[in-house]
């Protein structure tokens, strides 16, 4: 009798996947995708210096049946990635947005910033479910109705890194929902923001 109780105590039934909630979260993260039609963005800083932020890569994928529950439900995963290079600053930005029924992956936006001269890089991941940063190296903030370069952006995710490597290192990045990167700030207080977008 005791052996039987021990055997059954190790078994448990998983909760069924909430397909409706997962669908809602998937549709929400898709609203954050940057369009592939805007390839070039003109940036300026407070001194009037300009440079171009060029989209160097854009792709999206969907996989079916990534996870299955005990109720017979399955759910897939969706993935989006966009990369940018700057024409003047030695910077490369990469943004990944993923949604998955697998709790280990979840729903997130991951930003990577690389200085192509020094090869210093850093990254931070914003979790759309917990509305927090998964790592302890940055602070995240959702900004509403924000004016950048004369354009009002409805929703912006601001990621501010705690550590920088030099005065010219990236301190903060502003990613606008449905638009992409619209501004970045340096440790020295200067920054570049979008004033024009081109196909």
Domain residue spans of the chain? 35-198
Residue 170, CA distances (Å) to 22, 38, 81, 112 in order: 34, 23, 20, 11
Residue 87 Cα distances to 113, 115, 124, 144, 151, angstroms:
15, 13, 24, 29, 22
User: Structure pTM?
Assistant: 0.90
**In whole angstroms, what is the distance from residue 97 CA to residue 88 CA?**
27
DSSP 13: P
Question: What whole-number distance in Å separates Cα of residue 155 and Cα of residue 26?
Answer: 17
Q: How far apart are CA 74 and CA 40, in angstroms?
A: 39
Q: Which residues contact 24 (CB under 8 A, 6 or more apart)?
A: none
pLDDT, tens digit only, all 199 positions of the chain: 454 444 444 545 668 999 999 999 999 999 999 999 999 999 999 999 999 999 999 999 998 877 888 888 889 999 999 999 999 999 999 999 999 988 878 999 999 999 998 888 999 999 999 999 999 999 999 999 999 999 999 999 999 999 998 999 999 999 999 999 999 999 999 999 999 999 8
Cβ atoms of 120 and 169 closer than 8 Å: yes
């Amino acid at each position: 009798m005791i052996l039987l109780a021990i055997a059954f105590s190790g078994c448990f039934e998983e909760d069924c996947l909430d397909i409706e909630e997962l669908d809602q979260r998937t549709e929400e993260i898709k609203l954050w995708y940057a369009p592939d039609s805007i390839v070039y963005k003109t940036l300026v800083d407070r001194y009037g210096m300009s440079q171009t932020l060029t989209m160097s890569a854009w792709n999206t994928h969907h996989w079916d049946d990534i996870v299955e529950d005990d109720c017979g439900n399955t759910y897939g995963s969706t993935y989006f990635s966009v990369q940018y290079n700057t024409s003047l600053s030695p910077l490369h930005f990469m943004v990944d947005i993923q949604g998955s029924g697998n709790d280990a992956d979840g729903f997130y936006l991951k930003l990577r910033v690389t200085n192509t001269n020094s090869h210093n890089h850093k990254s931070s991941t914003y979790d759309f479910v917990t509305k927090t940063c998964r790592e302890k190296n940055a602070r995240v903030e959702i900004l509403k109705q924000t004016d950048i370069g004369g354009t009002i952006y409805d929703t912006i995710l601001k990621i501010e890194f705690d550590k920088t490597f030099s005065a010219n290192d990236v301190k903060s990045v502003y990613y606008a929902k449905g638009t992409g990167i619209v501004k970045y700030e340096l440790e020295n207080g200067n920054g570049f923001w979008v004033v024009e977008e081109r196909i």
